[in-house]
Amino acid sequence: MASRPGEPPAAAVPAKPPSRAAAIARLALDAACAFQGVLGGTSGRGARWKTPDRDGAVLGAIAVARADGRFDVELHLIARPVPLHPLGERIRDRIDRDARKAGVSELVGPIHIAFEDIEEKPRSSASAGRAS
């Protein structure tokens, strides 16, 4: 894309980092999708379950700032028919671990997980959750 006269070249304009809310939402959704039992997040009807970001919304994850500086995290997931309570606990543990590794554990508040749908048929490998 060509620049207009007097503007810096497009490549020289630094990309804005994601918002803190979007970074926390993405961390949580990525942690959840790392499990074979999770097929992905869902934004729901009307795309209401998402966190806005500069590079596009994080669908299926909501991170909302709290007065104490942390973020409430809500995940809305599609899963395979697996025991959901143990999967939810494993997801919470993974989010906590990944947040510690990323140095943002102090930003993660309560984590709420909703399994919005169960799909018995496997999705294509491109859209399925990664193995863990």
Is 125 within the bounds of a domain?
no
Output the domain CATH number for residue 103. 3.30.70.1350
8 Å CB contact between 74 and 60: no
Q: Can you tell me the distance from the alpha carbon of 32 to that of 44, in angstroms, rounded to the nearest whole number?
A: 17
Is 87 within the bounds of a domain?
yes
Is 131 within the bounds of a domain?
no
Q: Can you tell me the distance from the alpha carbon of 125 to that of 128, in angstroms, rounded to the nearest whole number?
A: 5
Domains held by the chain: number: 1
Is 91 within the bounds of a domain?
yes
pLDDT in tens, the chain (132 residues): 555 666 656 555 566 667 999 999 999 999 999 999 999 999 998 889 999 988 789 999 999 999 999 999 999 999 999 999 999 999 999 999 999 999 999 999 999 999 999 998 765 544 444 433
Domain that holds residue 89: 18-118
Is 70 within the bounds of a domain?
yes
